[in-house]
Amino acid sequence: MDPVRNPISRGALVLLRAGAVVAAALACLQPVLAGAFLQGHYSMLAAHRMSGMLFALALLPTLLAALVLWRGGRGPGRPALFAALALVLCAAQIVLGFTRDLVVHVPLGAVLLYLVVRIVLLSWAKQPVARYAGVPA
């Protein structure tokens, strides 16, 4: 089947874009919530924890869509690689947060933000992802 006319690739691109944007928004929210907690708003720690869990959940459909585009739609593999790496690092991030290992937790958060922003940029670029899915960027 022609990848340009493949409705599965189109749907995967839409899911990749949506998942990446949601994940990036949640990643941007994390330091705000942590800062509010440090400022004395102690309920924000629970919000930070919940937002971190939602971030991990947002990475799942992002990874799935990136894999479908890469393997099924013959698209580039970088979004899938970045999404897989982000999901693994997010799991480590959650563990580090619960163990309060902040020396690694804080910089790893910056790495995760970088990864999801890269996924957003790759998914919305005219090339190379949209060329394979037949969806205008």
3-state secondary structure 43-108: CHHHHHHHHHHHHHHHHHHHHHHHHHHHHHCCCCCHHHHHHHHHHHHHHHHHHHHHCCCHHHHHHH
pLDDT band at 43 (very low <50, low <70, confident <90, very high): very high
pLDDT band at 129 (very low <50, low <70, confident <90, very high): very low
The pLDDT of residue 108 is 97
Q: Over 70: is that where the pLDDT of 5 sits?
A: no
64 token code pair:
């799935």
d(CA 92, CA 108): 9
pLDDT in tens, 54-109: 999 999 999 999 999 998 877 889 999 999 999 999 999 999 999 999 999 999 99
The pLDDT of residue 16 is 95
**Whole-model pTM?**
0.85
